[in-house]
Structure 1
Amino acid sequence: MNQEDGKAQIVPCALHRDSNNRQNLNPDLMRVDESGCVIDDLEKLACLVEGKAIQAANWYLARKAVPKLFSQWIRGLAILGITAGGLITVLQSIDPQAGWGHNGFVVLAVAGALLGLDKYFGFSTAWMRYINAQLKIHQLLAEFQMDWAQLRQQSGDEATAEQEQVMLERIKVFRMAILKQVEQETQEWMNEFRNSIAQLDKETQQRTEALRPGGVAVAVSNAEGIDQGTLKLFVDATSRGAFQGDHTTIKSLMPGAYTIRVEGTRGGQPVNASGNVTVAAGTTVPVTLTLPAAT
């Protein structure tokens, strides 16, 4: 603090949010004397601190509009999607011949994506945080205004040094409470964003793991006497070509259920065998297919 002719000088001492939603130091007019305790104009200081509280409350009031709008639209569309998707699914079960029943699952998936979008970007939680912070600041402001009126009444026109100290302490408590509230809301936002990122990474990893391709190790029994080059492999209705010997491996199958079938000829007569398997992510499932025995 600088002194000139025994008068107090301006010192920077407060936090505010800029247009980029960051907290930056901003100089406020806080006038102190050489001891740093007794304020030369308590009324102006009280008005300044009160104005900063109103500014903080107005910041939350103005910025809650955008997350409120997105939250209401996203949640509303998600509710409509869930309702419509469920209704389509029910109608499909009533009329199995309808060819549009699968659209219900698509609508449900879109509704789930909307909810995930809201969760990741935090529109609903930001709306709630802003309302909560604004209400708490208004409460602190009302308490300060009532306490300040009482202190002014007790001090009269000429406050004693002891009374000034009490008034200054009340201003300090109020200012610190406002800054604490802003800090708490910012910390909640940081924790929420950090948790959203962690949850997104976890879900992405789980989905990636769940989609790892697997395979099927096929063993053919009773393959003796099969005509050379006639043994062919099928996955569901898709041909995987011919293979030699009595075993082969099918690779790059997405997780799911499959029907594995082998076909060939023995002495010009067709023979075949099939079996069902379920391929898990990143695993190779064994299956043995038994051809009819040679007669």
Structure 2
Amino acid sequence: MVKIVAKKTDIKIDELGVWKDYLGIAPDDASKKIYESAIATSKKAREWYWVSKNAKKYASLIIRSASFSLLVLGVALPLFAGMSVDAQESLYLTQSGVAALAVAGLLQAADRIFGWSSGWLRYVATVTEMEAKTHKFILDWTGYTIKKDGPLNELDKCALYEMGRSFVDGILKLQNDETNKWISDFNSSVALLNDLIKSQRLSSEKAQEELEIVLAEKKKIEEEAEKANLPGGLEVNIKHKDSPMALKIGIDDEQLSEFVGRSWTKESIQPGQHTVRVLIEQPKQEIRRLVKILPDEIATIDIHLG
């Protein structure tokens, strides 16, 4: 678009000049100068638009062809995915179809932002109207001069000057109208670009928030899993009838250890259900109690001895 702007500043249409520039010039010579200047002005403007439209035309055709091809691809790939028996291949085809549609949308957005298609149509419409005005001017000029029986006079020179000035003013108005449309399209494309950036920023922020939530949940699960594997502890309170007696104590199938006291503890026990075993020699008996060991916690049970 910057390149187009540069070209727009290169257009310089020479006006016919003021009426006093033609005073003192013979009507025939003045009319010839007016006609040539008016036609040269039109030709210069029309040639610029005919040449400038080509770049936009080719860009528009390429963008539209690529967009249509990607649209067909985006529609066809999910259909092929539905016919595939391989889950991995089906997923790949579906994701490729979504990507194709996304790229097609981006190309269309780029076309609107840079104004290739709209500029091409705008240039064609403008230069076509210039061609029509030029054709009408030639016919009007020729018709006026043909109707004259004799040589042109000062009144004819004045009339032809007004005709040429009106024609050049019309060409300038078409160029000005096209420039105003370009300004409007440019402002619209800037607004669209800002909206796309804002929308993408909001989407990115939302995706970031969702990712942070997922990561937080994952961390929580990992911490819970890690905590679930932490060993626990056990405290067994021995309730003796009299003074503490000698006994053997342990858990599950491990070897019992001798103990004399009122509180027996054990650390680094895997979480889960365990059996506390207390063996008394006099009178000989074995007491069993079930206890649930929780991760990173100390379970407490009481065993009463008779």
Range into which the TM-score falls when normalised by the shorter chain: 0.5 to 0.7
Amino acid at match of 1:214: E
2:7 to 16, 20, 37: 20
The corresponding residue for 2:289 is none
User: Relative to 1, partners in 2 of residues 1:44 and 1:193: Cα closer, same or farther, differing over 3 Å?
Assistant: same
The whole-number CA distance in structure 1 between the counterparts of 2:137 and 2:68 is 43
* Residues 32, 38 of structure 1: 8 Å contact kept: no
1:144 to 137, 142, 155: 137
* Residues 56, 119 of structure 2: 8 Å contact kept: yes
Q: Deviations over 1:240-294 (max 9, x none)?
A: 4548xxxxxxxxxxxxxxxxx9984897359xxxxxxxxxxxxxxxxxxxxxxxx
**Pairwise CA distance, 1:201:** 0.4
User: Relative to 1, partners in 2 of residues 1:31 and 1:265: Cα closer, same or farther, differing over 3 Å?
Assistant: closer
User: Relative to 1, partners in 2 of residues 1:215 and 1:112: Cα closer, same or farther, differing over 3 Å?
Assistant: closer
* Residues 32, 39 of structure 1: 8 Å contact kept: no
User: Relative to 1, partners in 2 of residues 1:27 and 1:207: Cα closer, same or farther, differing over 3 Å?
Assistant: same
What SS class does the counterpart of residue 119 from structure 1 fall into?
Answer: helix
The corresponding residue for 1:33 is 20
* Residues 14, 41 of structure 2: 8 Å contact kept: no
User: Relative to 1, partners in 2 of residues 1:201 and 1:216: Cα closer, same or farther, differing over 3 Å?
Assistant: closer
Amino acid at match of 1:182: Q
**Pairwise CA distance, 1:62:** 1.0
The corresponding residue for 1:202 is 195
The whole-number CA distance in structure 2 between the counterparts of 1:69 and 1:111 is 17
What SS class does the counterpart of residue 214 from structure 1 fall into?
Answer: helix
Superposition pairs of residues 232-243 of structure 1, within 5 angstroms = 235=217, 238-240=218-220, 242=223
- More helix by proportion, 1 or 2? 2
The corresponding residue for 1:277 is none
Q: Deviations over 1:104-155 (max 9, x none)?
A: 1111111112112211111111111111111100000010000001111233
User: Relative to 1, partners in 2 of residues 1:51 and 1:25: Cα closer, same or farther, differing over 3 Å?
Assistant: closer
User: Relative to 1, partners in 2 of residues 1:88 and 1:25: Cα closer, same or farther, differing over 3 Å?
Assistant: closer
The corresponding residue for 1:129 is 122
Superposition pairs of residues 64-83 of structure 1, within 5 angstroms = 64-83=53-72
The corresponding residue for 1:214 is 209
Identical pairs, percent: 19
User: Relative to 1, partners in 2 of residues 1:198 and 1:239: Cα closer, same or farther, differing over 3 Å?
Assistant: same
* Residues 79, 111 of structure 1: 8 Å contact kept: yes
The corresponding residue for 2:50 is 61
2:96 to 63, 87, 103: 103
The corresponding residue for 1:45 is 34
Amino acid at match of 2:119: A
Amino acid at match of 1:33: K
Instruction: Report the aligned-residue RMSD.
Output: 3.5
**Pairwise CA distance, 1:193:** 0.9
Larger Rg over CA atoms: 2
* Residues 73, 97 of structure 2: 8 Å contact kept: yes
The corresponding residue for 1:192 is 185
User: Relative to 1, partners in 2 of residues 1:25 and 1:67: Cα closer, same or farther, differing over 3 Å?
Assistant: closer
* Residues 122, 178 of structure 2: 8 Å contact kept: yes
The whole-number CA distance in structure 2 between the counterparts of 1:205 and 1:234 is 27
User: Relative to 1, partners in 2 of residues 1:269 and 1:160: Cα closer, same or farther, differing over 3 Å?
Assistant: farther
How many residue pairs get aligned? The number is 221
Name the TM-score, length of structure 1 as normaliser: 0.64
**Pairwise CA distance, 1:30:** 3.7
User: Relative to 1, partners in 2 of residues 1:263 and 1:71: Cα closer, same or farther, differing over 3 Å?
Assistant: farther
**Pairwise CA distance, 1:239:** 2.9
The whole-number CA distance in structure 2 between the counterparts of 1:216 and 1:68 is 43
* Residues 234, 262 of structure 1: 8 Å contact kept: no
* Residues 38, 164 of structure 1: 8 Å contact kept: no
* Residues 11, 45 of structure 2: 8 Å contact kept: no
The whole-number CA distance in structure 1 between the counterparts of 2:227 and 2:122 is 65
Amino acid at match of 1:83: V
* Residues 38, 168 of structure 1: 8 Å contact kept: no
**Greater relative contact order: 1 or 2 (C-alpha under 8 angstroms, separation 6 or more)?**
2
The whole-number CA distance in structure 2 between the counterparts of 1:21 and 1:35 is 30
* Residues 18, 24 of structure 1: 8 Å contact kept: no
**Pairwise CA distance, 1:189:** 1.0
The runs of 5 or more residues in structure 1 that have no matched partner are 1-16, 219-232, 244-260, 271-295
The whole-number CA distance in structure 1 between the counterparts of 2:125 and 2:32 is 29
- More strand by proportion, 1 or 2? 1
